[in-house]
């Protein structure tokens, strides 16, 4: 469970401009640092180390870093386009949040500003002969950083925007979201009772926006529930699409006092609603994007069943984490015990991943077999949790395949695997 301010801060640090601005400030501060430390340098030292060479070095850094930054930006935009067209536009966000790319660009921009400020300060005589020594030492450190970053950037360019690399990022994001939800199955709150009948005194909070729920600040809801002595039943989860007027929460007072209008607004403000879904707290979105990648690979325009088979294995690996969810003790905040949220269901997870792939790959035996084997594997991993959903999707898959496949022996081969699924205990 993450408070809203931490979630907003996390989103902020993933932006390219944030790292670029941070490194730019650091570069300017580093260039001016030599002025402060010049008095600590002996007057005879500049002549010994040849600090006058710093002018030429800074000029080279300034001209080269500007060119490298321009080239890197064009390469980055090309990689974004490749990820969008070759994989799925939903995965572009993960490519844009790549820390190696952001650090490389930020280093190049920061080095450019460092050299620019250094040249300006040198031309005005602010450093003096002693300050040049400090600047010379810092410049050598910057050159070392640039060389390291360039080597790492060159290696990273070979993978940036590629299909396999982008799928890796989607799988990692899906697994991280799954692991977070396993630890916080109700985001730190309590379970929403399945057969709950709300009293007539319950107040409904409706959404004032249209979009996707990106984050729910359960800690803030817990503080509100304790302060007002109320129970809050949240009707949505991160990833839910809401519209204006749609009920997103219901409040049940524990006393005769009802919350005022401002309290209802504060409760609604704990929900962050945006224009698109995010990966962090929405495991279903990661599975949806994986299935979308497989469906795109199975389209007649792409015709790449190998990628779809690869994605099926990744989906199996991701769902395996959910199958092991009952092996660990979930966390809950005691201050949020009066906040109730619904948990994820296995049927929803399976529908998000298996249904689109089985629909689009029904005419390909190799895809059908891989899907059935994945269902068999999940049923064996956790029969109590997965078996019923596996059987349901296995039956749907066989029905689609029999309507699409033309050869009898292919249908028989598929049925033989389906029989294994039914026999799992």
Give the whole-angstrom CA distance, residue 177 versus residue 39. 53
Specify the pLDDT at position 62: 87
Specify the pLDDT at position 127: 64
pLDDT reading at 38 higher than 90 = no
Three-class secondary structure of residue 156 per DSSP: helix
Give me the percent of the chain exceeding a pLDDT of 90: 36
Whether the Cβ atoms of residue 142 and residue 113 lie closer than 8 Å to each other: no
Three-class secondary structure of residue 42 per DSSP: coil
Average pLDDT of the residues in 252-275: 85
Residues contacting residue 278 through CB under 8 Å, at least 6 positions apart: 93, 212, 214, 215, 238, 285
Give the whole-angstrom CA distance, residue 376 versus residue 391. 9
pLDDT reading at 78 higher than 90 = no
Specify the pLDDT at position 360: 92
DSSP string, 292-316: HHHHHHHSTTT--HHHHHHHHHHHH
Specify the pLDDT at position 240: 94
Give the whole-angstrom CA distance, residue 44 versus residue 377. 75
H or E stretch including 253? Answer: strand 247-253
Three-class secondary structure of residue 333 per DSSP: coil
Residue at token pair 């979930």: 330
Whether the Cβ atoms of residue 165 and residue 269 lie closer than 8 Å to each other: no
- Compute CA 370 distance to the chain's CA centroid, rounded to the nearest angstrom: 27
Q: Which long-range contacts (C-beta less than 8 Å, at least 24 apart) are formed by 38-41? A: 38/127, 38/128, 38/130, 38/131, 38/133, 38/134, 39/130, 41/130, 41/131, 41/133, 41/134
Give the whole-angstrom CA distance, residue 30 versus residue 138. 8
pLDDT reading at 313 higher than 60 = yes
pLDDT reading at 126 higher than 70 = no
**Distance spanning both ends of the chain, measured CA to CA:** 35
Whether the Cβ atoms of residue 419 and residue 388 lie closer than 8 Å to each other: no
Average pLDDT of the residues in 108-132: 78
pLDDT reading at 322 higher than 80 = yes
pLDDT reading at 68 higher than 60 = yes
Three-class secondary structure of residue 341 per DSSP: strand
Specify the pLDDT at position 27: 76
Residue 212, beta-bridge partner list: 241, 274
The 3-class SS string of 216-252 reads: ECHHHHHHHHHHHCEEEEECCCCCCEECCCCEEEEEE
Residue at token pair 């932006």: 15
Specify the pLDDT at position 47: 47
What sign for the dihedral angle of Cα 216, 219, 222, 226?
A: negative
- Residue 331 pLDDT class (50, 70, 90 cuts): low
Residue 272, beta-bridge partner list: 215
- Residue 296 pLDDT class (50, 70, 90 cuts): very high
DSSP 8-state symbol, 257 = P
pLDDT reading at 165 higher than 80 = yes
Kindly give the interhelix angle for 99-124 and 16-36, rounded to the nearest 10 degrees. 30
Sheet holding 211-216, edge to edge: 241-242, 211-216, 271-274
List C-alpha distances in Å: 116 to 46, 111, 139.
Answer: 22, 8, 12
pLDDT reading at 14 higher than 50 = yes
**Rounded to 5 degrees, what are φ and ψ at 76?**
-65, -45
Whether the Cβ atoms of residue 249 and residue 267 lie closer than 8 Å to each other: yes
Mean pLDDT of the residues in the chain: 85
Closest CA to 106 of 224, 200, 27, 159: 27
Kindly report which listed range (111-125, 146-160, 372-386) carries the lowest average pLDDT score: 111-125
Residue 398, beta-bridge partner list: none
Average pLDDT of the residues in 132-151: 85
Give the whole-angstrom CA distance, residue 366 versus residue 370. 6
């Amino acid at each position: 469970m993450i408070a809203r301010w931490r979630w907003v801060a996390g989103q902020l640090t993933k932006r390219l401009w944030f790292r670029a601005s941070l490194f730019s400030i650091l570069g300017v501060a580093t260039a001016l640092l030599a002025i402060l430390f010049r008095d600590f340098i002996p007057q005879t030292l500049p002549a010994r180390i040849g600090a006058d060479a710093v002018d030429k070095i800074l000029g080279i850094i300034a001209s080269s870093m500007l060119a490298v930054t321009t080239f890197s930006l064009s390469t980055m935009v090309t990689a974004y386009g490749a990820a969008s067209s070759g994989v799925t536009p939903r995965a572009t966000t993960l490519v844009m949040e790549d820390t190696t790319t952001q650090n490389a660009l930020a280093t190049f921009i920061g080095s450019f500003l460092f050299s620019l400020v250094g040249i300006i300060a040198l031309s005005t005589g602010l450093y003096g002969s002693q300050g040049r020594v400090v600047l010379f030492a810092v410049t050598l450190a910057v050159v070392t950083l640039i060389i390291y970053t360039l080597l790492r950037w060159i290696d990273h360019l070979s993978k940036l925007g590629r299909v396999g690399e982008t799928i890796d990022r989607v799988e990692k994001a899906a697994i991280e979201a799954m692991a977070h939800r396993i630890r916080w199955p109700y985001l730190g709150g309590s379970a929403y009772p399945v057969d709950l009948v709300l009293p007539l005194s319950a107040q409904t909070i409706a959404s004032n926006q249209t979009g996707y729920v990106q984050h729910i600040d359960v800690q803030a809801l817990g503080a509100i529930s304790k302060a007002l002595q109320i129970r809050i039943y949240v009707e949505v989860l991160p990833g839910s699409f809401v519209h204006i007027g749609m009920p997103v929460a219901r409040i049940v007072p524990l006393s005769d006092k009802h919350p005022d209008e401002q309290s209802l607004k504060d409760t609604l403000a704990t929900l962050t609603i945006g224009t698109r879904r995010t990966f962090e707290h929405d495991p279903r979105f990661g599975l949806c994007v994986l299935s979308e990648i497989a469906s795109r690979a199975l389209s007649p325009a792409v015709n790449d069943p190998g990628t779809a088979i690869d994605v099926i294995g990744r989906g199996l690996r991701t769902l395996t984490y959910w199958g092991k969810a009952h092996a660990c003790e979930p966390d809950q905040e005691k201050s949020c015990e009066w906040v109730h949220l619904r948990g994820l269901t296995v049927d929803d997870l399976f529908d998000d991943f298996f249904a689109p792939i089985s629909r689009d790959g029904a005419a390909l035996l190799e895809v059908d077999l891989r899907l059935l084997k994945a269902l068999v594997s999940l049923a064996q991993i956790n029969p109590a949790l997965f078996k019923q959903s596996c059987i349901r999707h296995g039956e749907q898959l066989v029905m689609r395949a029999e309507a699409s496949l033309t050869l009898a022996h292919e249908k028989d081969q598929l049925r033989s695997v389906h029989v294994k699924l039914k026999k799992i205990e």
